[in-house]
Structure 1
Amino acid sequence: MKKIMSLFLACGLLLGAASAALADGKRLTLATGGTSGVYFPLGGAIAQVISTKSDGKFSVTAQATGASGENMRLVQANDVDFAMVQNDVADAAYKGTPPFRPDNKMTDVMAMGRLYPEYLHVVASTDSGVKKLEDFKGKKVSVGARGSGNEVNCRQIFQYFGLDYKNVEPIFLPYGETADQFKDRQLDGFVFTIGTPNPAIQDITTAQSVQFIPVEGAKVDELVGKFPFLVKDAIPAGTYKGQDKPVPTLSVQCILIVNKNMSDDDVYAMTKALYENLDDVAKAHNKGTEISVAHAADGITIPFHPGAARYFAEKGIKLPQ
């Protein structure tokens, strides 16, 4: 009995020490997104890994937010320590291009690393006759909520394929409403910039067959040259019902950002704790399987924080100039 009591006491002391170590760690806040999206639960997994794998240096809390645009403002104002955002939103905010203001560039924000791709899904109904992007002329196409990152991506891409809001009938709807109208045959197609698999598209493909429209060719090379935050990519085969082959497309990236005033040593330690424990992230959220050191610089066009840059230099990762 004494041995058992001693064992319980030892375990209690160890747990207490671990809790105290976390409690004593520097408290950080990670801004994520809405509770129903990917950012919040994945952010929770990232927060847990950095907290437990940094030798007690940090105690990280994931905070629900309005996602990319709000997160840029929160990090710029130093109201949170780091955040998850789309790389194209980070590019626009840093440079002061629409939808952000040129007199309010968010240059206190720096990159920590890329997480996972958010694919451009271009989908058409089988009876629309659409086989390629140019075929959307004269069609009803949901381009996302007005002013959203999704809609910005549509305007960027359409112009390279001879499309605009004069020869396409744009419908400004969020994802859920788009899915409902598409299933009711009120739309010819839609464009989503989103991670995979997307539940709304899964719902659609379970109910009816669709055409996944490839985004490829010389025009894509021009696009990537113009907008380097876009990456040539492909939706993996089998992501959706009836989609048996990879679909060539573009992707934007979910990235981590941090305020430039955070110390180099702290950002180095955070980056190391995360990227050297990705298996633990993946156990908590399936998106963790898409995070890798090898792709940590993909699509990032804002400067890297020196602390993160030091870690990736040690790993032989070439960062953009």
Structure 2
Amino acid sequence: MKKRLATVTALALTAMMAFTGCGGGNEAAESGAENASENPAGSAVELTLGTGGTTGTYYAVGGTMSTVLNNVMENVSLKVVSTGASKANILDIDDKVSDIAIVQNDVMYYAYNGTDLFAEDGAITSFSAVAGVYNETCQIIAAPGISSIADLKGKTVNVGDAGSGVEFNATQILAAYGIDINKDITKVNGSFGDAADSIKDGKIDAAFITAGAPTTAVVDLAISKDINLLAIDDEHADALIADYPFYTKTVIPGATYACVPDDVQTLSVRATLIVDNELSDDTVYELTKALFENKDALASSNAKFAELDPNAAVQGISVPFHPGAEKYFKEIGVLS
């Protein structure tokens, strides 16, 4: 295991978190996680849950999990900490700083295989999957006059922050359409807000945004300017899924954004719960069971949990499940 610097300021959540922001997987860390510990004998095992920045979706989702599940689990409790989101969360689990975390499933794929975002770090296999929780949708926003991904050749396109998961999504999707991100477009890096403002001002032609839909920056843009959402057709979607098993097909419903009346097919990655491999089977089983059996309470506090579904939870998972989670899914017939 490589030596890495982990910040240690922890922010515990003790009250219900409101749902704020989009694209928690790209939030910068307000602070890192601190080491998890066990409570005295006879009480619940306390697990440190790595999330994202304090204004992001992951932090809010983690807060809801802590508030709801700590009231129903007998042997497990969750302590939520703010982190640098997906990549930082995987490194923190590998460094035994966190026990459990929320990550994008494409980022965990890169970690497990030592590619892309983890090409320099090398493969990290000290974690395993619990469940996919909700979709983070690949939204390709374009100015009027651009109606397909193929039309992006020669255009100026925001592909997310440099080195981000969004940029890798953009690279893969464009390549499926025969477009080299470094040669065939004018590539611009920047945040979702930057992308929306630049489309509005006519500075760029399109942008890739990987986040739960609706995304606030796009909602605001669509109110003030006509935009198109570019579809990924079945042929290209199937090819991408074959090459990158973390993708799943997704439909953005019509009227999600003011000027897009029709459904649009695209791909999603999944915000996924992962755990340290060394957690006991009983601990992870109790956590997984509590998560799905308390969906209504979770969803009433945070709309992201409305997407929680056991069948969807095992889709796009390209790393091994923890045996405790696998036991639960086999019990309910989702895994054989």
**Same fold (TM > 0.5):** yes
RMSD: 1.6
Residue of structure 2 in register with 1:79 after alignment: 97
Q: Deviations along 1:145-190, whole A, 9 cap, x unmatched?
A: 1100000111111111011121111111111111121111101111
Q: Deviations along 1:100-121, whole A, 9 cap, x unmatched?
A: 1377311111001110011110
Residue of structure 2 in register with 1:119 after alignment: 137
Is 1:199 equivalent to 2:209 in the alignment?
A: no
Residue of structure 2 in register with 1:11 after alignment: none
Residue of structure 2 in register with 1:154 after alignment: 170
Three-state SS of the structure 2 residue aligned to 1:295 is helix
How many Å separate the matches in 2 of 1:143 and 1:157?
11
Contact 1:49 1:274 in 2 (8 A): no
Contact 1:49 1:273 in 2 (8 A): no
Cα shift at 1:302: 0.3
Cα shift at 1:217: 3.1
How many Å separate the matches in 1 of 2:271 and 2:154?
33
Q: Which segments of 5 or more consecutive residues in structure 1 lack a partner in the other structure?
A: 1-19
Check 1:257–1:216 CA distance in 2 against 1; reply closer, same or farther (3 A cut): same
Contact 2:326 2:335 in 1 (8 A): no
Correspondences of 1:1-321 after superposition (within 5 Å): 24-55=43-74, 57-101=75-119, 104-126=122-144, 129-164=145-180, 165-318=182-335
Q: Deviations along 1:276-306, whole A, 9 cap, x unmatched?
A: 1011111111111111112110110000000
Runs of 4+ deviating beyond 6 Å: none
Q: Which segments of 5 or more consecutive residues in structure 2 lack a partner in the other structure?
A: 1-38
Q: Deviations along 1:68-116, whole A, 9 cap, x unmatched?
A: 0000111122211100000000001011112213773111110011100
Count of residues paired in the alignment: 296
What amino acid sits opposite 2:172 in the alignment? Q
Three-state SS of the structure 2 residue aligned to 1:99 is helix
Three-state SS of the structure 1 residue aligned to 2:282 is helix
Identity %, equivalent residues:
37
How many Å separate the matches in 1 of 2:315 and 2:94?
22
Contact 1:237 1:247 in 2 (8 A): yes
Q: Deviations along 1:29-71, whole A, 9 cap, x unmatched?
A: 110111121111111111222211113x222111111100000
Compare CA radii of gyration and give the structure with the larger one.
Answer: 1
How many Å separate the matches in 2 of 1:246 and 1:220?
16
What amino acid sits opposite 2:252 in the alignment? I
What amino acid sits opposite 1:168 in the alignment? I
TM-score, normalised via structure 2 length: 0.85
How many Å separate the matches in 2 of 1:157 and 1:220?
9
Contact 2:115 2:122 in 1 (8 A): no
What amino acid sits opposite 2:255 in the alignment? G
Which sits farther off after the overlay, 235-244 or 161-170? Answer: 235-244
What amino acid sits opposite 1:96 in the alignment? G
